[in-house]
Amino acid sequence: MPVTIFHNPRCSKSRQTLALLEDQGIKPSIIEYLKTPITKDKLIEILSLLGLAPRDLMRKKEEVYAEKGLDNPSLSDAELIDIMVKNPILIERPIVLANGKAALGRPPEQVLNILE
């Protein structure tokens, strides 16, 4: 079963989620999404799999969130997605894909639900 993790090695939850996968005997494909940004199409797919709106997957405490006025309710989902693609630091992490499903590793154990 192929498993992919969108990972930020500087994030403790991301490191914990990766360790949890490895403890399960899984060697996921690791995408450091700050170095290899997520494409717009992939982000749209991930949002769909998670059942989330773009704003729900945004890190609201990042400086760029305030700088760009992303709390403005008039911004469309398409605009938010474009901003997230250009500023991947805004994307909550880690995200794990497996079995045609996605899970946000917050808490890390949440990813176990998509491995079955």
Q: Residues 89-101: what's their mean pLDDT? A: 97
State the Cα–Cα distance between residues 98 and 91, nearest whole angstrom: 19
Residues 32, 78, 13, 96: what is their CA dihedral angle, to the nearest 10 degrees? -70
pLDDT at 97 over 80: yes
Q: What is the pLDDT of residue 116?
A: 77
> 44 is in which domain, residue-wise?
3-114
29-32/95-98 β-pairing: unpaired
Alpha carbon 87 to chain centroid, angstroms: 13
The number of domains in the chain is 1
CATH of the domain at 37: 3.40.30.10
Give the model confidence (pLDDT) of 6-17 as tens digits: 999 999 999 999
Would you call 45 exposed, middle or buried from its count of C-beta atoms within 10 A (0-12, 13-18, 19+)? Answer: middle
pLDDT over 80 at 1, yes or no: no
Predicted model pTM: 0.95
Mean pLDDT of the chain: 97
**Active site annotation includes 11:** yes
1, 4, 8, 11: which one is catalytic? 11
Between residues 1 and 42, which one has the greater pLDDT? 42
